[in-house]
Amino acid sequence: MPKLLLVEDNEMNRDMLSRRLEKRGYTLVLAIDGGQGVAMAKSELPDLILMDMSLPVMDGWEATQLVKADPATKGIPVIALTAHAMESDRQKALDAGCDDFDTKPVELARLLIKIEELLKKFPPKA
Amino acid sequence: MKSLPFRWQLILFILLTCGVTLSLAFAGFYLYDVRQFNSEVQSRLEKTQSLMIENLVPLLEQNPKATDLQLKSLGVDAQIAAAAVYSSEGKILSRYVRAGVTEVIPPLPRITRFLDISDRGVLWTPISSGARSFGTLYLKAELSDADRGRLVNLLRGSAIVFFVSALLAAAMAWRFQGRITAPITELARVSTSVQRTRDYNARVQTTASGEIGELIDSFNAMLDTIQSNTSELERARVAAEDAHEKITQAHDQLEEANRTLEARVDDRTRLLAKAVKDAEEASKAKSSFLAKMSHELRTPLNAIIGYSEIMREDAADDGETARAEDLDKVLNAARHLLGLINDVLDISKIEAGKMELYLETFDLPKLITEVIATAAPLVSKKGNTLAIDCPADIGSMHADATKLRQMLLNLLSNASKFSEKGTVTLKAVRLIEEEADYMELSVVDTGIGMTPEQLTRLFQAFSQADASTTSKYGGTGLGLAISKQFAQMMQGDITVTSTPGVGSTFTIRMPAKVLSTQPKVVNQASHKLTRSPFSSQNRPKILVIDDDKDIRSVIAEVLSMSGYDVVEAASGQQGLDHVSRFTPNLILLDVLMPGIDGWTVLTKFQDNPKLADVPIIVLCAAGEVEMAIALGAANVLLKPVDASRLTAEIATQLSPLPKCYVLHVEDDADSRNLITRHLEREGWHSRSAINGKTALRMLRQRMPSMIVLDLKMPGMSGMEFLEELTQNPTWAKIPVVVVTSMDITQEMRNILTSRTLDILRKGQFTREQLTAIMRPAVEACALAQA
């Protein structure tokens, strides 16, 4: 089963999204800020990262840049989760190296399509 | 001589004349007397001579050598001083010298012996008888004492006559000179005094006649003239001084008034600048509050939605259908709430000018498919059928796909809300014109449709066709306003046509390729421009104030082509400077400027009495229209500047008002267009004013047949405008009909019913109703004009 890293500081969002994704058969690992996200990307080597952009300590853009700069993790696809309709944030996310983006609040059906598409594009090694 | 007074000059002159005359007379008389005397003496001497010759001849005939001749007895008289008788040989025969006289007898001169020439008083006479000569007689006469006395007396008498005459002449000169000199002296005295004292009342008093009299009369007449001229001059001077004083006073008053006015203008400007700043800050605070609140609201709402979804999924999995349905209702309500919050956030972003475009190239049919997938459940809810009319080869678009999706969803959702068991069609057409490539996306429904009145308020934020709609159909009414703004941001627009009971068609028209940077001035092709309503000799002057050099030069070129003279100002201050030097016929003002901002300039212009009749067209952003209307702009144009609309608007503003026009005072553009269309269909002339201030300016130009008045306007309200009308006796008689969406209090109704023909509620009257109310007034005016 594909392993997903969810980087999200809001506890309820983290809880909801992880539970709903687990229910659909994904293995979830969780991080609550950018620094922890970068560390866990390296240690856990997930198949895909869901990265919230507005994070404490280190924000999502910086974390994504670090993930994409590290040869060990740069192959992991990242979906940016941005606040509603901030087009400039969206562009910033793509510039930081994100492979796709979705807006919060998450519309699960749409997010699942995006996750599946990316997993097909970057198939899990194991 | 010259320094002597005239009288002395005259006396001297008389005396001199007399002296010369008398001296000549005296000399004449004296010389004549002396001459008489001399000739008498001569004749007497000659007599003595001939007597002596007579006596001597017989004596010498007897003895030519006789030497004892007694000359004394020979006739010598008292005047003879010496006498002698010479012989023919020259020998003195006899001699006589009067006693007491020293005389030398001269020898006989050789020459005079033969010549009868002698000195005065001396006679040499030959003594002869017949041919015989006896010698020569010498006689020398000398004045006797008696003669001497006679001559002295003569001299004395003449001198006495001379002096007495001179004295008499002097006395008479003294006595009579006064008659001549007195008037002249008086004349001289008076003229000197006039010259010294400048008292032109003085006159020369005289009884003199003749030339001097005439001279004095002329002098007096001259003084009369001078006096009357001087008094006239004095009166003029006094009048001039009075006038000068009054001018000075008026000038002082004017300066004072100016100072007061300036102070008041400054005060008002300061207050206004503060109000503007406050309003801007409040607006910013509102936007940021809304953005923050939306975020704060969304976070718990996300949790509600998320957990409800988890619970619903669980319930469905567990076969608890009833619970799953309840949770669906919670979810729908929460999603609806989220939609509303998103709308509010969108509109606040648009108003704050913070809405951004994310332009990307996408395939239009693919986007339409996505939209249909989302909208299908909504459409089918009320038994409506969804039809799609989109050519497969319509191609791709370059635009903000998210916003276009949102717009289409909004239109489809509206269409399905207001239709039941009908058809909702989504139609896409690509229009390729000579210089434009447009996409037209229409949503056609077979729903309840709308009246033209309802259409006018359709795109306004927070308003639906009417208040009852919200309760029946739900929604904030923000969706269409947002969609329209999105379309305009992408250089397009949304238009609507509708027939009540038949259905509505909403059309999004957008460029197939939206440009990221909009041109600053559009529609500047010359065939799209409206020419000046005046002849080419009479080009109205337009002051263009804009800090953007490109816009300014393009506008200047466009206006110049359209028949206007343009004066450019690169800042608010420059604009103010220009206006202090000349009065333009119209001002075009960009309010977004550094330095003195456009609002301050606009306020200063409004406070300048010189510009009371000069229309000011304001260029601004969509969110600033209300401010521009409130501050008295004649009209408002949005950026980018549409040259075609600009020239049309300028021509309208400068054209003379038609006879019997209907004046429509209304701040809302859609309501204005609706009423204008109504009036046009009746064939009535009408002119719109976007605020009370502009309406008053038009009233000053020409009286309308009647006024259609909105009550709720920024700046001067409809009630305030009515108050202005009442203040003016002529305007108070103009018929007024009120068309408003405002809730009217009883107090307002009392005022309005006494002053107006009728009060109509927006969206709740027909064209026929409106024109029936207006017809009598419009026709009465036409009749009066005929």
Phi first, then psi, for residue B201 (nearest 5°) are -80, -20
Asked if B705 contacts B661 with a C-beta cutoff of 8 angstroms, the reply is yes
**Residue range B628-657, pLDDT digits in tens:** 898 899 999 987 788 889 999 999 999 999
Helices B572-581, B598-607: inter-axial angle, 10-degree rounding: 20
Model confidence at B463, pLDDT cuts 50, 70, 90, reads: low
Residues of B in contact with A19 (CB under 8 A): 310
**Distance of alpha carbon B79 from alpha carbon B144, whole angstroms:** 5
Q: Does A108 touch chain B (CB under 8 A)?
A: yes
Asked if A105 contacts A82 with a C-beta cutoff of 8 angstroms, the reply is no
Residue range B32-46: average pLDDT? 80
Looking at CA atoms only, how far is residue A91 from chain B in angstroms? 8
Q: Does A45 touch chain B (CB under 8 A)?
A: no
**Residue range B556-566, pLDDT digits in tens:** 999 999 999 99
Residue B470 has pLDDT above 60, yes or no: no
Task: Give the Cβ contact number of residue B268 at 10 Å.
Answer: 15
Query: What token pair was written down for B551?
Result: 């816009």
User: Residue A87 and residue B356: Cβ atoms within 8 Å?
Assistant: yes
Q: Does A109 touch chain B (CB under 8 A)?
A: no
Using DSSP's 3-state secondary structure scheme, residue B399 falls into: strand
Residue range B210-224: average pLDDT? 84
- H or E segment at B302? helix B210-317
Residue range B231-249: average pLDDT? 89
Q: Does A85 touch chain B (CB under 8 A)?
A: yes
Residue A91 has pLDDT above 50, yes or no: yes
Which residues fall within 8 angstroms of residue B426, CB to CB, at 6 or more apart?
A: B368, B371, B372, B386, B387, B388, B389, B390, B408, B412, B441, B442, B443
**Distance of alpha carbon A72 from alpha carbon A80, whole angstroms:** 20
Q: Does A90 touch chain B (CB under 8 A)?
A: yes
In the block, tokens 């319509």 appear at B394
Note the pLDDT of residue B471. 46
As a whole number of Å, the CA-based R_g of chain A is 13
In the block, tokens 């002597």 appear at B4
Residue range B48-61: average pLDDT? 79
> Average per-residue pLDDT in chain A?
87
**Residue range B254-297, pLDDT digits in tens:** 888 888 888 887 787 778 777 777 777 777 777 677 767 767 77
Query: Residue B517 is which amino acid?
Result: T
Residue range B378-400: average pLDDT? 88
**Residue range B694-747, pLDDT digits in tens:** 999 999 999 999 999 999 888 888 999 999 999 999 999 999 999 988 888 888
Nearest by CB to A85, which of B306, B310, B402? B402
Query: What token pair was written down for B274?
Result: 């503060």
Query: What token pair was written down for B315?
Result: 């319930």
Looking at CA atoms only, how far is residue B364 from chain A in angstroms? 20
**Distance of alpha carbon B272 from alpha carbon B597, whole angstroms:** 11
In the block, tokens 């940021």 appear at B288
In the block, tokens 């020998």 appear at B91
Residue range B387-391: average pLDDT? 90
Residue B373 has pLDDT above 70, yes or no: yes
> Average per-residue pLDDT in chain B?
83
The answer to pTM > 0.80 is no
Residue range B148-166: average pLDDT? 82
Cis peptide bond N-terminal to B640, omega within 30: yes
The arrangement of strands across the sheet holding B686-689 comes to: B686-689, B662-665, B706-709, B736-740, B758-761
Note the pLDDT of residue A28. 95
| Of B405, B294, B376, B296, residue with least CA distance to B343 | B294
Looking at CA atoms only, how far is residue B327 from chain A in angstroms? 16
Task: Give the Cβ contact number of residue B769 at 10 Å.
Answer: 12
Q: Counting runs of H as helices and runs of E as strands, what totals does chain B give?
A: 19, 23
- H or E segment at B443? strand B437-444
**Distance of alpha carbon B341 from alpha carbon B258, whole angstroms:** 53
Note the pLDDT of residue B120. 61
Residue B548: half-sphere exposure toward Cβ, Cα within 13 Å? 16
| Of B287, B358, B339, residue with least CA distance to B478 | B339
CA separation, residue B51 to residues B57, B87, B140, B461, B500 (Å): 10, 18, 15, 174, 182
Nearest by CB to A16, which of B301, B310, B358? B310
Residue B38 has pLDDT above 90, yes or no: no
User: Residue A17 and residue B303: Cβ atoms within 8 Å?
Assistant: no
Task: Give the Cβ contact number of residue B604 at 10 Å.
Answer: 20
Model confidence at B113, pLDDT cuts 50, 70, 90, reads: very low
Q: Does A54 touch chain B (CB under 8 A)?
A: no
**Distance of alpha carbon B388 from alpha carbon B409, whole angstroms:** 14
**Residue range B489-498, pLDDT digits in tens:** 888 889 888 8
Residue B542 has pLDDT above 90, yes or no: yes
Task: Give the Cβ contact number of residue B463 at 10 Å.
Answer: 20
Model confidence at B200, pLDDT cuts 50, 70, 90, reads: confident
Model confidence at A87, pLDDT cuts 50, 70, 90, reads: low
User: Residue A87 and residue B357: Cβ atoms within 8 Å?
Assistant: yes
Task: Give the Cβ contact number of residue B73 at 10 Å.
Answer: 8
Note the pLDDT of residue B584. 95
When mean pLDDT is compared across A54-63, A68-77, B195-204, B226-235, the lowest value belongs to: B195-204
Task: Give the Cβ contact number of residue B277 at 10 Å.
Answer: 12
Note the pLDDT of residue B650. 94
Q: What is the DSSP string of B332-383?
A: HHHHHHHHHHHHHHHHHHHHTT------EEEEHHHHHHHHHHHHHHHHHHTT
Residue range A18-40: average pLDDT? 92
**Distance of alpha carbon B141 from alpha carbon B127, whole angstroms:** 18
Residues of A in contact with B309 (CB under 8 A): 16, 20, 108
| Alpha-helical segments (H) within chain A | 11-23, 34-44, 60-69, 87-96, 108-121
Q: Which of B336, B356, B490, B516 best probes binding to A when mutated, by most A CB atoms within 10 angstroms? A: B356
Task: Give the Cβ contact number of residue A113 at 10 Å.
Answer: 12
Residue B78 has pLDDT above 50, yes or no: yes
As a whole number of Å, the CA-based R_g of chain B is 67
CA separation, residue B713 to residues B416, B656, B669, B728 (Å): 34, 25, 12, 21
Note the pLDDT of residue B117. 46
Q: What is the DSSP string of B479-545?
A: HHHHHHHHHHHTT-EEEEEEETTTEEEEEEEEESB--SS--SEE---GGGPPPPSS-TTSPPEEEEE
**Distance of alpha carbon B708 from alpha carbon B773, whole angstroms:** 11
Q: Give burial (CB, 10 Å; 0-12/13-18/19+) of B526.
A: exposed
Q: Give burial (CB, 10 Å; 0-12/13-18/19+) of A43.
A: exposed
Looking at CA atoms only, how far is residue B356 from chain A in angstroms? 7
Note the pLDDT of residue B154. 80
Task: Give the Cβ contact number of residue B202 at 10 Å.
Answer: 16
- In angstroms, how far is CA B591 from the centroid of its own chain? 29
Note the pLDDT of residue B375. 86
Note the pLDDT of residue A125. 63
Model confidence at B465, pLDDT cuts 50, 70, 90, reads: very low
Q: Which of A6, A9, A11, A12 best probes binding to B when mutated, by most B CB atoms within 10 angstroms? A: A12
Note the pLDDT of residue A3. 94
Q: Counting runs of H as helices and runs of E as strands, what totals does chain A give?
A: 5, 5
Q: Does A114 touch chain B (CB under 8 A)?
A: no
Query: What token pair was written down for B19?
Result: 């002296």
Task: Give the Cβ contact number of residue B630 at 10 Å.
Answer: 17
